[in-house]
Amino acid sequence: MVVVFDPIGVIHTPYKKPADMPVQGALYPESEGHVNVYPRFAEGLKDIEGFSHLILIYYFHRVDNYTLISRPYNDNTPRGIFSIRGPRRPNPIGMTVVRLDKVEDNVLYISGVDMVDGTPLLDIKPYFPDIDAHVAERTGWAQGIKPDERD
């Protein structure tokens, strides 16, 4: 079974190549970007301006292979790919919660971005803290490691 998706827009950020990017956008609220939603999907943006945070789901388009064991950023211990957030995944799907700063027609101005410029956008979801925010008392290997030293 294969699943075929067609991007709904493009994410623009200040990061022209992966080496420029912050590891985790949430730690860099000043990291601003914008989303261009293709005009044929713009009607789906109705009511979105009421949300302070959005979930962006996107395609790691610069990745051309995957590995089941990988090393987190700044850490030499090999980890299973499903216990890290790096891009070289069997299905290279990225997810970041961003702040929505402003909406102008089919353009969303956002902050807290950590994608490379030109990233194809697959979906936008509203962020609901009562279902999306969890205390998560255990974070495995990442316990005690600073967020910008993992991925």
**Which DSSP string do the residues of 58-108 spell out, in sequence order?**
EE-TT-----SEE--TT--S-EEGGGS--S--SS-EEEEEEEEEEEETTEE
What residue type is 7 in one-letter code? Answer: P
Instruction: Pick between residue 14 and residue 138 the one whose CB is nearest to a second copy.
Output: 138
Closest-CA residue to 62 (of 21, 5, 113)? 21
In the complex, least distance from residue 56 CB atom to a second copy, rounded to whole angstroms: 10
In the complex, least distance from residue 20 CB atom to a second copy, rounded to whole angstroms: 19
Instruction: Pick between residue 12 and residue 150 the one whose CB is nearest to a second copy.
Output: 150
Instruction: Pick between residue 7 and residue 117 the one whose CB is nearest to a second copy.
Output: 7
In the complex, least distance from residue 3 CB atom to a second copy, rounded to whole angstroms: 5
Opening angle at CA 15, ends 110 and 11, nearest 5: 45
Instruction: Pick between residue 20 and residue 128 the one whose CB is nearest to a second copy.
Output: 128
In the complex, least distance from residue 58 CB atom to a second copy, rounded to whole angstroms: 10
**Interacting residues of 56 by C-beta distance below 8 A, sequence separation 6+:** 11, 35, 94, 95, 96, 97, 98, 110, 115, 121, 123, 124
Task: Say if CB 136 and CB 147 are below 8 A apart.
Answer: no
In the complex, least distance from residue 29 CB atom to a second copy, rounded to whole angstroms: 11
Instruction: Pick between residue 20 and residue 139 the one whose CB is nearest to a second copy.
Output: 139
Interface with a second copy (CB under 8 A): 1-8, 24-27, 37, 41, 43-53, 55, 57, 59, 68-69, 78-85, 89-91, 93, 95, 97, 120, 122-143, 147, 150
